[in-house]
Amino acid sequence: MEGLTDGWVFVDASTDRTHWHPDISRFHDYWREITPRGQLPGRQHFDPLDIARIMPRVWMLDVVQPGPRFRYRLAGTMEVETLGMDPTGRWLDEVHDAFRTRPDIASRYMAAVETGRATYRFGRVAFVHDREHRFVQNMILPFAADGVTVDLLMILSIMYHSDGVEVK
């Protein structure tokens, strides 16, 4: 698939957005729109109605300290469908063994928390999903109620079948 990297990158003004799904672009642009100058946006800045069309693909993780450890706050309907269950209220590392066993996965979430920077990835599915969903394009956006300390991650995932066709 064009643009497939299997790695993740921090997102900044110089990031190549050529292969980004339009919903990934909208998600990131919205986050930038609500970001107060010199701070991170908090949950209080976010209105799901502003991105209602893409909310079924959004999932939110509370960043629980010490650790940090990640707990599902919300899973959009498409995420629930592809996972085959609703993970709301459960720990990420209990829902997805790969989070515990593959340091490359956990490092991305930790990097978003530690740096307060958005990350982008397009690659093979790392977490267990519907067996026909083989590739994912996603964005992790950090949020901080106090503008500094990341306490929430919002993720938008676009899933693709093995033939490269987007899951709708």
The 10s digit of each residue's pLDDT in 103-156 is 788 899 999 999 999 999 998 887 766 666 678 899 999 999 999 999 999 999
Determine the average pLDDT of the residues in 66-84: 92
**Domains defined for the chain, CATH in brackets:** 7-160 (3.30.450.20)
- SS3 string, the chain, reads CCCCCCCEEECCCCCCCCCCCHHHHHHHHHHHHHCCCCCCCCHHHCCHHHHHHHHHHEEEEEEECCCCEEEEEEECHHHHHHHCCCCCCCEHHHHCHHHHHCHHHHHHHHHHHHHCCCEEEEEECCCCCCCCEEEEEEEEEEECCCCCCCCEEEEEEEEEECCCCECC
Instruction: Note the pLDDT of residue 7.
Output: 81
Determine the average pLDDT of the residues in 41-49: 97
Residue 2 — very low, low, confident or very high, per pLDDT cuts 50/70/90? low
Residue 3 — very low, low, confident or very high, per pLDDT cuts 50/70/90? low
pTM value is 0.92
Nearest to 63 by CA among 111, 122, 120: 111
Please say if the pLDDT value at position 38 is more than 80. yes
* Least confident segment among 31-35, 36-40, 76-80, 122-126: 122-126
Residue 118 near residue 34, CB atoms below 8 Å: no
Determine the average pLDDT of the residues in 45-64: 97
Question: Can you read off the two tokens belonging to residue 65?
Answer: 């300290």
Residue 77 — very low, low, confident or very high, per pLDDT cuts 50/70/90? very high
* Residue whose tokens read 């991305």: 108
Residue 27 near residue 139, CB atoms below 8 Å: yes
Instruction: Note the pLDDT of residue 143.
Output: 98
